[in-house]
Structure 1
Amino acid sequence: MQTLRIGIVDLDTSHPNNWVPILKELGHQVVAVFDGGTVHEEGYASQFAERHEIKVVCESLEEMAQLVDIAIIHSVNWDLHVVRARPFVEAGKAVMIDKPMAGNLRDIQQLQEWERRGVRITGGSSLSVCEEVREWHRQHDPNDQIVTVLAGCSVDEFNYGIHAFYFLQAIMGPGIESVRSAGVHLQHQIELTWQDGRKGFLSIGTTQGYLPFYATIVTENTVKHLQVDNSRLYRSFLEASLPYLAGDAEPFVSISQLLEAELAAMAARKSFLLGGQQIALKQLSHEDQGYEGASFAAQYREKAKGH
């Protein structure tokens, strides 16, 4: 694969610090950074660039779009993701968007429209290609049908909880048709139904302690429990994504398939607000509340200051 010139957009989370060394180890150049100031004070981008030996701190995304082959967008306010991606799309550059990729239907439809236009765009959660799921699929007899899967994690329902949606989809495959909230007992319990009738279950949201990403897979002949090794997640995700973004391979999964996770999370929220009604993904509309990124980002900033 060719050496890519990569730009990092928004330094809000821990991911940029963790991803840049991996990108360099994989043989690529991180040539520019931009930070919109959602979480960090002015000057942080320069400190980040110095720490990681990145030559250019951009004043605008349009400036960065002229310097890079790929932009990786890490904005903790997911409502900014489409806005941040647009200058790169218009410049014909590839884009990777960190999870959650979007929190409302309008943004999801824009990402899907870009994909239809041939834009190289991907992202979401590293759980979509984690080693534990890949190993399970390698060993699993496809004739041994899945009965059900329970998966989950902690921390919060969407910014972190979205990982569990991706994890469940990576195990069971695409084709989520509808979602039903089963209510909240310490965590939010959610039932997802696939187009072929299979059901999977999630338990997500805040708990007293940190829970690892986990899944228990029940097939007709076996029961298998997976617990994810977080230390391998980022590298696996980048190794799976970059060849496609470089134009050297097909996407490991289309962005429309990946976005089923966000749509399912939105359907779970709508179901909860409607007292547990079954909500088909096709029933979602622009009027649905979705998940609001700016308010989450404000809370995130306050917590970051507290540290």
Structure 2
Amino acid sequence: MVDIGIVGLDTSHAEAFADTLAGHPSTSLTAVWDGGAVRSESYTEEYCDTHGANRYDEPLEMADRVDAVMILTVDWDTHRELAVPFLERGVPTVIDKPIAGNLADIRELEAAAGGTPFFGGSAVPYHSAVRSADLESDDRTLYCVGYDDPFYYGVHLVDTVCRIVDSPWACVSPADDPGQTVNVVFTDGTYATLRLDSPEDENQFSFLSIGNRTTAVDVGSTPADMTDMYRAYIETVLDVVAGEIDPSERVFDAAALLLGVVAALEHDRPITPECRVLSEYAVDGAAFLEEYRPYY
């Protein structure tokens, strides 16, 4: 049995992952910490009672009692400070999307991970529609459409494209297309156009791959879609914890690309992984938390 600890109950993912873990024959949610940024004291107590988990006053107190932790706080500026101590203790660590709001945090997380299993980001790349689609081809161009906040929800497009391409990004530039749209060039020659603000009133993500063949994939937000994604996501977490796969390099690269996407839109200029604009750019997680909190 793989004992999982959850750090932060801010989002709906805490409930979704708890349900997924409970339905898996090899996992158990055994430890919980929450800082009260979004949820009430009574909510945390009820959550722990419902899922049979022990509550801890400090996150690191659970380090010797779990096989892995999932960092689920909505304020991405807390991810580094919460995750690094676990990583340095050799505890496999998963960080929910978005990984971090600045490049320095990404690099510190990367350094702390070292040989410790690390995973995180969006669950959309693990939806069965994406996993089963024939998206591999030569001389490929990708067109992707998402919705809502370009950072908090744009991560779903970025992480999915990075998993499909599986090659580092080289440059991201604002596109001449309508809306919040960027063009991304990857080192293997793949081109991707990402429109982050769909004009349609549909909560879905769409991916079109054009190369030797053309393939289209849509990922919705129905309960069935969520269950599909989270089950595959947790399976991937278990593979990472067991050391069977190591997607950390791609996860960190996607986190840097997400920053590059919003930096390109804000500064209206091309962004590369090494440019000074990216190294100095930051997306404010605390400000997003203030906008997010009233909904819960």
- Normalised to the residue count of structure 2, the TM-score between the two structures is 0.91
Matched, 1:152 2:150: no
Q: Closer, same or farther in 2 for the Cα pair 1:23/1:74, shift >3 Å?
A: same
Verify the 8 A CA contact 1:155 1:207 in the aligned structure 2.
Answer: no
Verify the 8 A CA contact 1:174 1:260 in the aligned structure 2.
Answer: no
1:241 is displaced (CA, Å) by 1.9
Amino acid at match of 2:289: A
Matched, 1:95 2:93: yes
What is the alpha-carbon distance in structure 2 between the residues aligned to residue 28 and residue 189 of structure 1? 40
| Comparing 156-165 and 228-237, the one that deviates more | 228-237
Equivalent residue of 2:193, what SS? strand
Verify the 8 A CA contact 1:157 1:206 in the aligned structure 2.
Answer: no
1:183 is displaced (CA, Å) by 6.1
| Comparing 236-245 and 282-291, the one that deviates more | 282-291
1:121 is displaced (CA, Å) by 1.3
Per-residue deviation, residues 13-48 of structure 1 (Å, max 9, x unmatched): 001101112112222111111111111122321111
Q: Which residue of 1 aligns with 2:38?
A: 39
1:198 is displaced (CA, Å) by 2.5
Verify the 8 A CA contact 2:271 2:277 in the aligned structure 1.
Answer: no
Equivalent residue of 2:66, what SS? coil
Amino acid at match of 2:149: D
What is the alpha-carbon distance in structure 2 between the residues aligned to residue 209 and residue 120 of structure 1? 38
Q: Closer, same or farther in 2 for the Cα pair 1:301/1:206, shift >3 Å?
A: farther
Q: Which residue of 2 aligns with 1:280?
A: 272
1:52 is displaced (CA, Å) by 1.8
Verify the 8 A CA contact 1:7 1:32 in the aligned structure 2.
Answer: yes
Mapping 1:63-212, distance limit 5 Å: 63-115=61-113, 117-137=114-134, 144-182=137-175, 185=178, 187-205=179-197, 209-212=201-204
Equivalent residue of 2:280, what SS? coil
Q: Closer, same or farther in 2 for the Cα pair 1:266/1:36, shift >3 Å?
A: same
What is the alpha-carbon distance in structure 2 between the residues aligned to residue 295 and residue 166 of structure 1? 23
Task: Extract unaligned runs of 5+ from structure 1.
Answer: none
Identity over aligned pairs, percent: 27
Per-residue deviation, residues 154-188 of structure 1 (Å, max 9, x unmatched): 12111111010011122222221000012684x41
Q: Closer, same or farther in 2 for the Cα pair 1:291/1:206, shift >3 Å?
A: farther
Verify the 8 A CA contact 1:23 1:30 in the aligned structure 2.
Answer: yes
Matched, 1:250 2:242: no
Q: Which residue of 2 aligns with 1:292?
A: 284
Per-residue deviation, residues 123-163 of structure 1 (Å, max 9, x unmatched): 111123332232124xx6x6x42431111211211111101
- Normalised to the residue count of structure 1, the TM-score between the two structures is 0.88
| Comparing 157-166 and 84-93, the one that deviates more | 84-93
1:206 is displaced (CA, Å) by 7.0
| Comparing 64-73 and 280-289, the one that deviates more | 280-289
Verify the 8 A CA contact 1:105 1:286 in the aligned structure 2.
Answer: yes
Verify the 8 A CA contact 2:3 2:67 in the aligned structure 1.
Answer: yes
Verify the 8 A CA contact 2:7 2:73 in the aligned structure 1.
Answer: yes
Matched, 1:23 2:16: no
Q: Which residue of 2 aligns with 1:226?
A: 217
Q: Closer, same or farther in 2 for the Cα pair 1:173/1:87, shift >3 Å?
A: closer
1:284 is displaced (CA, Å) by 4.7
Matched, 1:57 2:55: yes
Which stretches of structure 1, 4 residues or more, deviate above 6 A after TM superposition? none
Superposition RMSD on alpha carbons, in Å? 2.0
Equivalent residue of 1:279, what SS? coil
Task: Extract unaligned runs of 5+ from structure 2.
Answer: none
What is the alpha-carbon distance in structure 2 between the residues aligned to residue 199 and residue 167 of structure 1? 14
1:208 is displaced (CA, Å) by 6.5
Amino acid at match of 1:126: A
Amino acid at match of 2:6: I
Per-residue deviation, residues 97-133 of structure 1 (Å, max 9, x unmatched): 1111111011100121123x21111111112333223
Q: Closer, same or farther in 2 for the Cα pair 1:228/1:246, shift >3 Å?
A: same
Q: Which residue of 2 aligns with 1:239?
A: 235
Equivalent residue of 1:72, what SS? strand
